[in-house]
Amino acid sequence: MVMIVSGSGYNLNRVILVDGYVDEPTCLGVPPYLSTYPRYIAGAIWTHSPKTEIEYITIDQVRKSFERFQNRWSTADLIILVAGMIVPGKYLGGTPISVREAKTIFSASSLVSIPKLLAGPWGQFGCGIEGGKMALSSDVLSPPFDIIIDGDPEVVIGQLAQGWNLNDIQTSRTRNDASEIEEYILRGTEIVTQHFGLHSGYILCEIETYRGCSRSLTGGCSFCVEPLYGTPQQRSIDAILQEIECLYTRGVRAFRIGRQADLFTFGSPQMGLEEFPRPKPETIEKLFSGIRRVAPDLTVLHIDNVNPGTIARYPEECREIVQSIIKYHTPGDTAALGIESLDPEVIKKNNLKATPEESLAAIKLLNEVGGARPKWGLPHLLPGINLLYGLPGERKKTLECNFQFLKNLVEEELLVRRINIRQVIEFSGSFMEDKGKRIKPNQFFQHKKRIRESIDRAMIERVAPAGTIIRSAFLERTDGKTGVFRPLGTYPLQCHSPIDSPPITSVNLFVVDHGPRSLTTLPFPLQVSSASLSHWKKIPGFGAKRAARIKASQNLRSIEDLQAQVDVEIPFWLHHALSFE
Ligand code: SF4
**Residue 357 burial by Cβ neighbours in a 10 Å radius (0-12, 13-18, 19+):** exposed
Centre of ligand 1 to C-alpha 405, Å, is 21
Q: How many CA atoms lie within 13 A of 84 on its CB side?
A: 29
Centre a 10 Å sphere on the Cβ of residue 441 and count the other Cβ atoms it contains.
12
Backbone phi, psi, residue 519, to 5°: -115, 145
d(CA 409, CA 416): 8
Specify the ligand 1 atom closest to the Cα of 261.
5
Element (H, E) at 363: helix 356-370
Specify the ligand 1 atom closest to the Cα of 220.
7
- The reply to whether ligand 1 has any atom less than 6 angstroms from the CB of 414 is no
Alpha carbon 23 to its chain's center: 7
Specify the ligand 1 atom closest to the Cα of 351.
2
Question: Whose alpha carbon is nearest atom 6 of ligand 1?
Answer: 213
Alpha carbon 191 to its chain's center: 19
- The reply to whether ligand 1 has any atom less than 6 angstroms from the CB of 212 is no
**Residue 315 burial by Cβ neighbours in a 10 Å radius (0-12, 13-18, 19+):** middle
Domain spans in the chain, listed from the N-terminal domain onward: 14-180, 207-233+253-463, 469-579
The fold of the 207-233+253-463 domain, in CATH, is: pyruvate-formate lyase- activating enzyme (3.80.30)
Amino acid symbol at 99: V
Centre of ligand 1 to C-alpha 2, Å, is 39
Q: What is the pLDDT along the chain (581 residues), one digit of tens a residue?
A: 554 444 445 688 999 999 999 998 888 999 999 999 999 999 999 999 999 999 999 999 999 988 888 888 989 999 999 999 776 667 888 999 999 999 999 998 888 999 999 999 999 888 776 666 667 888 888 899 999 999 999 999 999 999 888 888 999 999 999 999 999 999 999 999 999 999 999 999 999 999 999 999 999 999 888 888 888 999 999 999 999 999 999 999 999 999 999 999 999 999 999 999 999 999 999 999 999 999 999 999 999 999 999 999 999 999 999 999 999 999 999 999 999 999 999 999 999 999 999 999 999 999 999 999 999 999 999 999 999 999 999 999 999 999 999 999 999 999 999 999 988 877 665 555 555 567 888 999 999 999 999 999 999 999 999 999 999 999 999 988 899 999 999 999 999 999 988 887 889 999 999 988 899 999 999 999 999 999 999 999 998 999 999 999 878 999 999 999 999 999 999 999 999 98
- The reply to whether ligand 1 has any atom less than 6 angstroms from the CB of 25 is yes
- Residues 6 or more apart in contact with residue 90 via CB below 8 angstroms: none
- The reply to whether ligand 1 has any atom less than 6 angstroms from the CB of 226 is yes
- The reply to whether ligand 1 has any atom less than 6 angstroms from the CB of 221 is yes
- Among 373, 446, 349, 447, smallest CA distance to 407 is for 447
Centre of ligand 1 to C-alpha 141, Å, is 28
Question: Whose alpha carbon is nearest atom 4 of ligand 1?
Answer: 261
- Among 40, 47, 67, 51, smallest CA distance to 15 is for 51
Pairing of strands 578-579, 526-527: parallel
Please report the beta strands in 390-468, taking only residues with DSSP state E, as ranges in sequence order.
Answer: 419-423
d(CA 379, CA 376): 9
Would you state the pLDDT for residue 7? Answer: 43
Q: Are 32 and 254 in contact (CB under 8 A)?
A: yes
Give 299's DSSP letter. Answer: S
Q: DSSP of 341-398, one letter per residue?
A: ---HHHHHHTT-S--HHHHHHHHHHHHHHH----TTS--SEEEEEEEEES-TT--HHH
- Among 271, 45, 247, 241, smallest CA distance to 177 is for 271
Report CA-CA distances (Å) from 311 to 143, 218, 264, 314.
46, 19, 8, 5
Specify the ligand 1 atom closest to the Cα of 227.
7
Report CA-CA distances (Å) from 183 to 187, 209, 481.
6, 15, 48
Would you state the pLDDT for residue 430? Answer: 55
Backbone phi, psi, residue 555, to 5°: 55, 50
Centre of ligand 1 to C-alpha 310, Å, is 12
Would you state the pLDDT for residue 88? Answer: 61
- Residues 6 or more apart in contact with residue 396 via CB below 8 angstroms: 439, 443
Specify the ligand 1 atom closest to the Cα of 26.
5
Pocket test for ligand 1, best of 226, 311, 386, 388 (most atoms within 8 A of CB): 226
Question: Whose alpha carbon is nearest atom 2 of ligand 1?
Answer: 221
Cis omega before residue 144 (within 30°)?
Answer: yes
The fold of the 14-180 domain, in CATH, is: Rossmann fold (3.40.50)
Q: Are 300 and 253 in contact (CB under 8 A)?
A: yes
Pocket test for ligand 1, best of 221, 305, 355 (most atoms within 8 A of CB): 221
- The reply to whether ligand 1 has any atom less than 6 angstroms from the CB of 93 is no
- The reply to whether ligand 1 has any atom less than 6 angstroms from the CB of 383 is no
Centre of ligand 1 to C-alpha 233, Å, is 15
Cis omega before residue 32 (within 30°)?
Answer: yes
Centre of ligand 1 to C-alpha 306, Å, is 10
Question: Whose alpha carbon is nearest atom 7 of ligand 1?
Answer: 220
